[in-house]
Structures are given as C-alpha cells and as structure tokens.
Structure 1
Amino acid sequence: MNITIIAGARPNFMKIAPIISALEEKQQQGYNISYRLVHTGQHYDANMSQSFFEQLGIPQPHVNLEAGGGSQAEQTAGIMTRFEKELAANPAQLVLVVGDVTSTLACSIVAKKMHVKVAHVEAGIRSGDITMPEEINRMVTDAITDYFFTTSEIANANLRKEGKSEDQLFFVGNTMIDTLLKHRHRFTAPPVWEQAGLQPGHYLVMTLHRPANVDEEQNLALLINEIMQNNHGLPVIFPVHPRTAKQLERIAVAQPRLHLTPPMSYLEFNYLVEHAKAVITDSGGITEETTVMGVPCMTLRDSTERPETCTLGTNALLGTDPAALKPAMDKLFAGQWQKGGIPPMWDGHTAQRIAEHLVTLFALEAKTATVA
C-alpha cells in the first residue's frame, strides 16, 4: 500500500501527525505500507509550519512544493501544477488529504484526474455558508473523494444526503484530538505568560482571521473594543494571524490590557487555551480543542461546520455582530456558561481506526483485483 499524505497549512499538521504514527505502527507490525509526505508550502511562516513538524514529531516531508503566497486562484494553481509533477514522479495508490484548506482541494483534484483514489479525513462537515472559501473546498473535495473519514454522525448524515454510499463512510473520530491528548502534558507557557503576568483562569485568548471579521477595519475595531469593554479588566492575549496583522496596523488598536503576539507554536498556544478563562475565536478547529479541554468558547461566526461543539461541547455561536459579545461575556462572568462534554470517539484513537480501515480497504481491493 503506497500512500501520499498532503499537508500544507497549520490545521493540517495536527491532523496528519497521529496518522503518520499509526501507519508507522502498522509498518512495525509487518504490514506492507509506505507513505510519502508532501508539504505543499501553503503556509510558509515558521511558526505556522516548521515548528509543528518539530514539536509534534512529524518526520520531515519528502518534498516541499513551496507553493505559498498569491491569491486563492494563484495558490490553487501553483499547488496543482507542482503536485501533478510530484505525483507523476512518485505514483501512489491513494492520496490522503485532511481538513478544508486550499491544499486539500487542489491535491484532490490532481489525484482524481490522474486516476488515483482519494481519502478525505474530516470529511462531510458543512457550515452552509458558501461565502467561506473552506466550505467550497469541502464541497468540491467531497464531491470527488472515494473514502470519507468523519468526525461525527452529523458529517455522515451530510454525506448521505449528497449521495455517498455506506461502504464509503467511516465514522472514526477526530485526529486533532489525538494530537491534543498525546501532547497535552507537554504544553508549555509562551513568553507572554511571564511578560503579562498571567494567572490561570484570569485572562482571555482571542483569535480572528475570517474575512467577515477582519477585512473591514471598522468592524474589527468594534469587535476588539466590545471585548475590551466587557472583559472585567482581564488581560486579552491575541496571537495575530498574518491576515489580521495588516488590518491592525491600519486601525492602530491600543489597549493596555490587550497583548498582541506573533502566531504561536502548537504547544504554547494550547497552554494558553487550557488555562484561559475563555476563548473568543472565529476558528473552527479551536472550538474542538476548547470542547475537549472544557474551556468556554465564543465563536464570532454566523454558522459553524462543527455543531457538536455547541450541542455537546463548550462552544457558543455568537454571530459577527459586536453587540452579541456583551450578553455572552455577562453570562461567562456570572458563572453560567455551559459545562459541555466530549463528543463520541474524540478519544485519542482516531488515527489507529483510520489505519485499520486503510489496511482492510486495500486488502479487499487486492483480493478483488486478484479474482478479476
């Protein structure tokens, strides 16, 4: 079994790390499995890419396509043309993609046009918001995928509605949680912990990068001001995404309790999240991590592709209107935030289930091919 694994952006690295470990376990058990790790270079900032390989124990990629930068179309085209040459030079029986970033979409299209099967990890999640680039990536990828590894029964239901058959669907859980649970004991305080004199449960963490929140300067300023006016004087730690940094320069936000930092490594950022009073974000992946760690989370979006974090977890969907923040913050500081629980199969063993399914699938295919 020869598998090409795609990684390109920060969220991918947390998802592929346990999969690689599970495949290497299968190798040690005597299974004929090989993999080639392709880094598309979609994220090329060291804190958003290289540090993840080092901290999460991911082996160095066999190749880096260095396709970062440019517009969405330019980046997609760059990844596709470079991955086409890579896959032609190093054929695979399966291309495994994760998540919903540009690399996921681009490499899936290339694989299918070259008649290589595609497996999608974290398949079937839907926000219903077609204005999100990630939603388009999910829909197109799942339209051509062969095997769907899902995080919830909700995702399975979405795929059934889109005409996928039961033998294509595998509810395995969440590989991001595999990574979280494996490395939780290694979380480490970032420099801002000492610099800002932080104490557990006495600060907030904020991340913003969605166009609806950061592209309009006035709206971004209103969001930040609303948070700072209703945070009961607590420090707010804001690791700034490169997209958001450009806007912050224009609006010149200056608040004594607001601490802007560069993007953090995985172990540092999750140390902050684990010990925070709450997290305010527009990231889907962070809502999964806060749910497992039992940290209150406010999501500044009108929809979510991870509804289980709201129905079962600690996340609340507030929308993008800054006025929604005050009642949510009042509820938080009144001690009335939902306690939440952990969704089914978010138990740290998802990657092992994926590896088991891959072994079974390829054994069946080999048997079928022999009979034919």
Structure 2
Amino acid sequence: MNVLSFQQQVREYAHSIGIDKIGFASATPFIDLKARLIQQQQLNYQSGFEEEDVTLRTEPTLLLEDAKSIIAIALAYPSKMLNAPQGKKGARRGIFCRASWGVDYHTVLREKLALLEEFIHTHHPHARTKSMVDTGELSDRAVAERAGIGWSGKNTNIITPEFGSYVYLGEIITDITFIADEPIEDECLDCRLCIDVCPTGAIVQAGQLNAKRCIAFLTQTKDTLPDEFRTHLGNRIYGCDTCQTVCPKNKRKHNLIHKEFFPDPEIAKPLLEPLLTMSNKQFKQDFGHVSGSWRGKKPLQRNAIYALAHFKEESAIPTLTEVLQKDTRPVIRGAAAYAIGKIDAPASKAILEQALQKEQDKEVLEEIEKGLSFITK
C-alpha cells in the first residue's frame, strides 16, 4: 500500500470515529517555536503547567526515536449552552469556560487517539507511535498549525475555518512518513479585538501571551489571588472565554456536535454558595468528570467566594461567616474575609472584628484588615 493511499484511509477512519479534523505534519524540529518559548521563559510569561524543557517541547525525535511525521487531530466543542440557568439575587451562579463543559476532553481525545493508533498498527504492525493531549511535551497548537488544522490567532488559540477556535487538540508522533499538509493562511489580518478586550491585558501583543496574567491560568492557581486580578474574575470559577467570544471567526460557531461535550447546565453554571461547603465526596461526584476539576475544589471555592463578592451577595454572609470561622484552609478563610468586607452588609464589620480577635494566620489577618477597609456601613 502506498503512502498516499494509506494516508487517505487514516483520514477516512478518523472521520468515522468522530474526529472533526485531521492533518499531517513533518516531525522536524519546531525552530521558530523554540526561540519563542525561550523568550517566554526569559520574560517569565509561562504558566508553569507546561513542560519546562524547551528542547523536549520542540524536537519530536527526542520523544519518539526516528520520528518522521505527526498526525494532528481536532474535536469541536460547543460554544452555546441550551437551557442555561440564570443566576439571580439570592441564587448567584458561577461559570465554567466552554472547554470544561461536558466530559473531560482529555478522556475523549485519548480514546480517539488510541483507536487511531490501533488502526495504524493494524495496517503497519511494526510502526511506532506516541500520542498526547494537552499535558504532553509538544505544543498542541504548534503541531496543529503546522498540520493545517488552523492558524494561530493573535490570542494564541488555533482558529479553524469550520469550528472557529472552539476545538480540542491532540496528536500522534509516528515513524511512518506521511505527506505533510499545507498550513492555513492567517486570517486575523488587522483585527485586534482579543487584544483590546482581554480583562487583564494578558495578550501582550499579537501571538504573545503572559500566561501569569491570563484569567484562565489565574482561576487554576491555589494561592490567594493578587488584588489586581480579583475584580476581573467576575463570576468565572474556571477558565475564561473572553478572547474567544469576541473573535469574529467564532461568530455563529455553536458546534453542537459531540454529545459528550454538551454541558450539564447545573454543573457548567453552578450555584455559587453550595460550592463553599461542599465535601470532597460531593465535589468528586458532581464535578469529577469535567476537566475543570483537575486542580481539586480549593481553587473553584476561592473563585466562587470572589464571585459572591463581585455580586455583593448579602444572602451569602452566613455561609461566608461559617467558612471564615471554621474552614481549615487559610486561603479560603482569607477569601471569605475579603468577600464579607466587599459585600459590606450590616453585619460585616462585627463579623470581621470578631474574626480579627481569633485568627492567628498572618495572611488571613491581612485579608480581614482588607475586608474591614471596604466597609462603609
């Protein structure tokens, strides 16, 4: 069987198992990417979640000996939630970003890639393959760009003509030589909406992101958030979609294709207050299947508290007081103190003054003082 014929079979099989886009690229080093990644490290713009070794991220042959090609795949995910519940006074809701709606995409894409590898090995028993999704060494976006899945937008997301930037990415490195697809021409042109509307100015310039200022990153951290970012969270409890929702290339891209990615509205837009006192068992039961749960409940609870402060939700004061008095985690107690002050309810001052007498953690004491500084009543 010649390469072109087999490559077409791989494409057809990929589409038959629900892979929306597939492309082929060479496994030569990503030289330009390497220079950019080194600059990111020098500027301290990297998130810390990615592979630290730039060489591993840019030289596929270090990951699979004698690698010749990389097969890139993309699965589209929804941008629209049907029957979305509306938050209201006394029942405020948070929001997970669209990439965390439905079943964890790592699980779904790994299953697709495993099937694709099995298909390859059926026809080429001695072929070597290595697949990865998101947490692998390679840059999924760089691979997808080279393989013609889409172009890299100014917000650093891969944008596809068919599905916009609402796509999950994965790849397979192999020692089979496939014919490389042509990259897609950049269609962002002079548009800079994503840069202009980024809440924290994380998009430094076209194609350059300071991940440490990106809300998508900040919502996943576990420590107390710096003051300058708290008000920018709004009601986001995991991730941020702003640079995607404003993108003209995403207009009318709803992508209601894969049912496993359809959101459960009560999970994707959960009530905030119940999150604060949720047990580990309940959290795992309700949220364990979504990608946004990977860091555990602590970051989500902290973000939920900041969201209640954002809404100035007075009805949450009793629960926030309970958290301030009883939670064993200083970050969560501190967030509660901040929120109680920000909400500025009639009881806020007395609650914080009482906590000030009992609290011993230095960081929490600072947050209590900060909360008191907000109070006008």
- Higher RCO (C-alpha 8 Å, min separation 6): 2
Name which one, 1 or 2, has greater alpha-carbon Rg.
2
Q: Could you state the TM-score of these two structures normalised by the residue count of structure 2?
A: 0.24
TM-score, normalised with respect to structure 1: 0.24
